[in-house]
A and B are shown apart, each in its own frame.
Chain A
Amino acid sequence: MVTNMNKLFILICSVSFATWAEEAPDFSGTWSDPPPRAEDAFCHIGCMIEARDYLTSLLDDPANDEKSYAELKGQAMRFQVTKLLPGYMTSEALQKRLANRDPRPLSRVCDPWGLVRTTMAPHAMQFTQYEDHITLYYSEWTVLRHVYMDGRKPPADLEPSKYGYSVGYFDGDALIVETTAIVADNFAAGGFPHSDQATVTERFTHVGDERLEVEVVLTDPLTFKQPLRMARAWAWAPGEEIYPYDNCVVPE
């Protein structure tokens, strides 16, 4: 027998769900590289927000008018890699990074990227929203991620994995994705290294109808003195295909 209190509870839940369903932003569809723009091209595979701002300051400085965009982009990238990022790292992490440096250039490795680099992967990304989860399918290495949206917490005894365990929720117009249990990545070649204690928070937002931005916060007390803030953007790209990675071969 359904009591009046139960009816009231069901009514409140229904109204809440209907409101959530109505207000939840919809990121569904295929997104890909935005049109050429200085900061977006610099953040083609993600960048630290401070480095992006540094590039903007270089471009705005009349003293750099005679320098090409490529030169200034290179200057900002060197700033990120040689000054900014090491400044965030603990001395132990810096030593470990040097000791574990992989001499192989990234372009010579047939190994899918780890989570952090994947969160800011270039080219196409397919966003699919279901009732209780979201999938993110990236054209880079055809990585498929699942984000649980049903309010669950990550299991306590999770073993770290390449793409970790992701849960998400909506915060106003933004989608927040929190990922834990990620295997350590000693990414020396221009990427962002971290230990298996790292957590990653992605904040996706629409900018107008045709632009999607993500801010990625990488927190890892074993590697960084404070969280790293990074970013990337995509443009609406309906119909763009994602192609397989069959028999990855390094030509040389």
Chain B
Amino acid sequence: MKTLTLFLLAGVIGFPFSTSHAHHSFAGAFDMSSTIQFEARVVRLELRNPHAVIHIEVVNERGDIEQWTIEGPGKLSLARRGWTDDMFEERELITVYGNPSARGKPIVWLSKIIKSDGAELVDPLVSDDLAIEEERRARRSRTGQGE
């Protein structure tokens, strides 16, 4: 299949998002301390509760196609950030950043997706933390200037 010219990077990368989902209790299911990045083709998005699932295809180092899933927050949480059932083009090429399965399964917890048009879709809890951090640094900067 010539469309599957993807490559699974699958390396642990330094990711600027320090996810802290302690109260979501993902520990044991996902390794929230590391993030992997890879490219994939979207097969199907299921915006549902309690968690949304994106079915994807990736190509591993041997050139074999693997079926993976990206798991993310539930429908309401994503819908209020603008997610819709038809937001991905058919077999859209995406770049995935996710926390890997703690048990070696072909599944990741959503950290960030970069769509083919460059748009970024970030886990709402992570984007909230980043917004808070940005506001905190801005406030500190203002306070520092006032001294």
Enumerate chain A interface residues (CB-CB to B < 8 A). Answer: 32-33, 36-38, 41, 44-45, 47, 59, 65, 68-71, 73-74, 77-78, 81, 103-108, 110, 122-124, 139-141, 189-190, 240-246, 248, 251-252
Contacts and interface: CB of A to CB of B under 8 A. Distances in A.
B84 to A, nearest CB: 13
A251 B132 CA distance: 31
Given A36-B131, A37-B132, A240-B80, A105 B51 contact: no
B20 A251 contact: no
Given A70-B129, A124-B76, A240-B80, 12 more contacts: A37-B132, A69-B129, A70-B17, A70-B133, A103-B28, A123-B74, A139-B74, A190-B23, A190-B25, A243-B48, A251-B107, A252-B105
Contacts of B23: 44-45, 47, 77, 190
Contacts of A107: 24-26, 29, 50-51, 71
Given A69-B129, A70-B20, A248-B50, A139 B26 contact: no
B28 A245 contact: no
Contact of A68 (B18, B49, B53, B76): B18
B26 A105 contact: yes
Contact of B129 (A73, A81, A104, A122): A73
Interface string B37-80: 00000000000111101000000000000000101001111011
23 contacts: A36-B128, A38-B132, A44-B125, A68-B133, A69-B132, A70-B17, A70-B133, A71-B20, A74-B20, A81-B22, A105-B25, A106-B24, A107-B25, A107-B26, A122-B77, A190-B22, A190-B24, A241-B79, A242-B76, A243-B48, A243-B75, A243-B76, A246-B49
A190 B24 CA distance: 8
Interface in B86-103: 101, 103
A71 B103 CA distance: 25
A78 B77 CA distance: 25
A137 B15 CA distance: 37
Contacts of A69: 129, 132-133, 136
Nearest to B105: A252
B66 to A, nearest CB: 15
A36 B81 CA distance: 13
Contacts of A70: 17-20, 129, 133
Contacts of A244: 49
Q: Which 3 A-B pairs have the closest CB atoms?
A: A106-B25, A70-B18, A189-B25
Given A105-B27, A108-B29, A74 B22 contact: yes
A178 B57 CA distance: 50
Nearest to A248: B50
A45 B77 CA distance: 13
A139 B74 CA distance: 10
Nearest to A65: B140
B50 A245 contact: yes
Given A36-B131, A68-B18, A252-B105, A105 B76 contact: no
A240 B48 CA distance: 16
Contacts of B129: 36, 41, 69-70, 73
Given A73-B129, A248-B50, A252-B105, A243 B79 contact: yes
Max count, chain B CB within 10 A of own CB: residue among A47, A69, A124 = A69
Nearest to B55: A251
